[in-house]
Amino acid sequence: MKNISLSLVLLLFALNFIQAQEIPSTNNTGGSIKPATSGSNSIFLPRVDNEVEDIFMKKEEPKINMRQDKNGLLTEGDRVAAEWKADKKAKSEYAKDQYLGDVKTSGKFVELYCRDHEFVDGDRVKITVNGEVIFNNLALTGSYRPILVTLQSGFNTIEFEALNQGLSGPNTAMLKVFGEDGQELVSKEWNLLTGAKASLMVVKQ
C-alpha cells in the first residue's frame, strides 16, 4: 500500500513539472517572454555582426591642412592676399602732403574711384571738397568705390587725409578720376603717413 501511495505522489509531481514547462511565462502586459539563450535570438546577448569593424582597430584618416602650400590648397583669403603687393616701407617723406596735379573739365561733376592697391590692411581716409567733408571716415578696400563730386565753377580742391596707416606701411591708394562723359581724366597713387594729405585740383571751365 505504501508503494502505491509513493508511486501516485511521484506521478502527480511529474505531471505538475511537465505542465509547468509547457505554460510560457507572461509579463505585466500579458505578452510572452522567451527564455534567454546563448544563441543569436537571445534578448540578453544580441547577435553580433562579424562584419562590423572594431572601433578601436579603425585607423583615423589623415587630415588635410588647407593652409599648406604643399597640398596645393589655399583658402580664398590666401588667394586674394597673394594678389596684392606688400605695402611700401614707411618713409619720412610720406609725412609731407602730396599734390596729385590738376585737371580741367567742362562737366558738372566728376567721379572719383579709389582703392587700396597694395596690401589691404585697413587704411582709412577723410575726403573733403572745397573744405567741406563729404566722407569723414572712408575705408579703402581692394575694390574701387565710386564717389560723385558736384563741381562749382572755377577751382575745386579735393583732399584725402590719411586717418591711419593700416596694419603695415603707409596709407596707400590708387585714385582714378572720370569726367561727366566717362573719360578718364587722371590716374594717381598716394603714400601717406597718418595726418598727411593728398590733394587734387579740378578746374571746371
Q: Is residue 177 part of a domain?
A: yes
**What is the spatial distance between Cα 55 and Cα 36, in angstroms, rounded to a whole number?**
28
Take residue 67 and report the three cell numbers written for it: 593652409
**What is the spatial distance between Cα 93 and Cα 98, in angstroms, rounded to a whole number?**
10
Q: Is residue 28 part of a domain?
A: no
**Cell 616701407, located at residue:** 89
The pTM for the full model equals 0.57
**What is the spatial distance between Cα 182 and Cα 153, in angstroms, rounded to a whole number?**
20
Q: Is residue 2 part of a domain?
A: no
- Host H or E run for residue 170: none
Take residue 49 and report the three cell numbers written for it: 555582426
> DSSP letters along 65-94, please?
-TT-GGGT---HHHHHHHHSPPPPPP-GGG
CATH number at residue 181: 2.60.40
**Cell 562590423, located at residue:** 52
**What is the spatial distance between Cα 171 and Cα 158, in angstroms, rounded to a whole number?**
17
Q: Is residue 7 part of a domain?
A: no
CA atoms within a 13 Å half-sphere pointing along the CA-CB vector of 16: 6
Q: Is residue 58 part of a domain?
A: no
Counted domains in the chain: 1
**Cell 511529474, located at residue:** 14
Q: Is residue 74 part of a domain?
A: no
Q: Is residue 190 part of a domain?
A: yes
Domain of residue 177: give its range: 96-204
pLDDT attached to residue 192: 96
CA distances from 18 to 7, 31, 134, 141, 196 (A): 17, 22, 104, 92, 108
pLDDT in tens, the chain (205 residues): 555 555 666 666 666 655 555 545 444 444 444 444 444 444 434 444 444 444 444 444 444 343 344 444 444 444 444 455 555 566 788 999 999 999 999 999 999 999 998 889 899 999 999 999 999 999 999 999 899 999 999 999 999 999 999 888 899 999 999 999 999 999 999 999 999 999 999 999 9
pLDDT attached to residue 91: 76
Q: Is residue 36 part of a domain?
A: no
